[in-house]
Structure 1
Amino acid sequence: MTDSTGDGQAAGEARLTTREAARRLGVKPETVYAYVSRGQLGSRRDPAGRGSTFDPKEVDALVRRARREPPAGSDATQRISTGITLIEADRYWFRGVDAVELARSYPYEEVADWLWTGTRRPGLRFTAPAESLAAARRAVGALPGHSGSTDRLRVAAIAAAVADPLRFDLSREAVLGTARALIPTLVDALPVAVGPGAGRTAGCHDAGADGVAAGSGSRGEDGSGADTGSRADDGIAARLWARLTPRPPGAAALRALDLALSLLIDHDLAASTLAVRVAASARAHPYAVVSAGLGAMDGPLHGAASGLAHRMLTDVLERGSAAAVVSDHLRAGRGVPGLGHRLYPRQDPRAAALFAALDEVPDAAPALAAARGVTATTARHAASHANVDLALAALTVASGMRPDAGETVFAVARTAGWIAHALEEYEEPPLRMRPSGRYDGPRPPRPLP
């Protein structure tokens, strides 16, 4: 029987160095630090200042957990371990920290980078590389004027990938560098919104067919178009605002947009995130991983849900009656968008936080009243609560944005979460996302047709 020290380590059993821990785990030393940043392994500084040390019992426990991973060919999608987001009891946490408090306390860039690295860097700004941004802008500018926001983001991601010869470097630092460059590239490649924003009525979109000027701004020598929508030192929220609406943002409105970005960074294994992990399991590069997420998101049941809620709120404002609009939705056999969430039986904490932020925006009062009218109307017969799509729609309607603006916010925000999941998946055995199909076709042999 052995005595134990105060930290639970057996007496006489030396702590492991980083190299020793890596050897025992069968991984590279940098992967050990990835386990630490994800909260899967604790570390302690060596008193002699020679690096970090690790509890051998904790390392062995991690080895045993790794050995329980499903073998290749089994349904690994049912056994994905992640240290990013926990959803429980109408709340959610990023790496064990209350996600709503994080979003209220820090800007989007800081929350995203902390999610990737475990370290917060105050004042952090993401910068788009000139060559990648020029390629993305040219590609986006070549699209038809009626192109949707997700179309533009997908094209921008592909163009930026082609412009990056180092995209296949999947080392942790390289992927982090790509992430910090890709998000601002996606935002800055979008055309700047134009039109008479200041005098517009909430919900009206009279700045042309799609509310933006394709290829707007003066042309530079590279043909990419000058960025007239924001300053280079602006945060992601300010730069994105200029691409969603021509209205100048007030401080409270801009804060609400930044809050929405942070709240939407990740939400466990949503459909797009699962697509991302499958792509990362095949060792697709980060641009391709994000493209996989954007592809899965481009549907009415995922990223586009806020657009349906936006149109509903616009209808309520134009007709002056939430009851009439809800009745029409039900009569047509459609569900009322923006209500309920399978993971939150009582309240979506993201919606509650965003509605609270919108209460501080004077121009948001009509849109908020419309959203609350919809919720109150449907609550007459069944318990219902607003989800984040309805809150996001209230933000986009109040700000004079296009119906698909919420989808743009969602995609930009979730790119950070997709990168976080890709970083996790790159540390797992490759091609583990290979479930076996259950064949239910005719049994062979059969004659040639």
Structure 2
Amino acid sequence: AMDSDVQVVESCLVAPCEETPRRALALSPLDLLLANRGHTPIVYFYLAPPRSSTSPFAAGDGGFFDVARMKTAMGKALVAFYPLAGRLTVDDDRDQLQIDCNAEGALFVVARCTGLAIDDFDGLGPSPELKHLFVPRVDASSPIMMAVQVTFLRCGGVALGTAVHHAAVDAIGAFHFFQTWSALCRDGDGAVVELPCHDRTLLGARSPPVVHPDALSVFCPTLKLCQAPSDHPVVSEVISFSGDQVAGLKNACGGGVSTFSAVSAHVWRCVCVARRLPADAKTRLTFPASIRRCMSPPLPSRYFGNTIIWLCAAGLVEDITSPDALPAVAGRISGAVRRMDDELARSAIDYFEMTLEKGSGRPSPSPPGNVVATDLRVVSWLRMPVYDVDFGWGKPTQMQRAESERGGFVYLINGDDDGGGGGMHMVVCMEAANLMEFKRQLYTKL
């Protein structure tokens, strides 16, 4: 275990610095669907510039990660992104969750950790410990929409932990906020701010709601879960692919497929082999996809809310794992992506409108358990501006989820902060017993 004495120095609320609309923001079916996920825990690591290494804890003196400057910038950013300063409440008339845009503010925590340096986390995967150390402690039932924690480390570097409630926004919108906040901190009033769109009626259900019969062949509304036996622990590991390895995989798929389809096809095959699934079993790859671009008319590019539905590709294990199947498997995944259109998106929204329990009031936490052995879920953060969070002291050296969701999940993240090398990181969460074989398959079949 890590020698990890994190002392909280300060904890306060940062409110928007100007008047913002005071209103109740009704949530769309896609928001309500994700409300039970609670807060998404992410941590960014920043190396200190050489000169400040003499006094690692001289925080707030106008130097590295000046807290006052960060708070001022956050107050400005929350004017445009005002739902993040609100609170999750229940609309008593509809008995439905909503965001009360009351400008109470986001939680801002400052901490220091004398026992740990950034080097201690190099290559470390998500873990409960990482979350416990660096992500602000917001209870699962807390109505706060956003919390951040700036932790000054022994080496002079900083860990920035963030927790944004999933009812408020998906990853695309969350990164938009962090880009904006950091730009306002870095560039002051010269920062270019693209305003978010808060019109959630754009993703409301049709009246009456209707699900197109074809939609359910590619749209995958539920995650099949199973309880993991206690003697089969689930572990997380970060696995890196070079740009050349990614390019090689895309070539092996016959070219013309996306990085996501090529890498997901390869991972899916390796997981089936590592888990020793029977040849005649049916296996599914499920993945979240944003409907932002497939709507007609298209959603505003800066729509702020949840735009995620789940798609799936399925097949028999023998068809997925046979030696020459990689191009066909990648083709199945690409095919599911291509089927995304306005009708599929509307059907998905209407499906959730019809199946979500009305009167659920508070979100119930996600049930425990892992994805069933025949299924795999791959979440792509590729091409998202994950490293584009420079507060004026440089980009983060690494960024990742602080804690894995459950066994059977894989996250794909761009490898290098310049984005030019084409490499990537893969965060894999699976049974420890199968992980070694999975990695062996992953590299021998490249």
Superposition TM-score, scaled by structure 2 size: 0.26
More strand by percentage: 2
Superposition TM-score, scaled by structure 1 size: 0.26
Larger Rg, first or second structure (1 or 2): 1
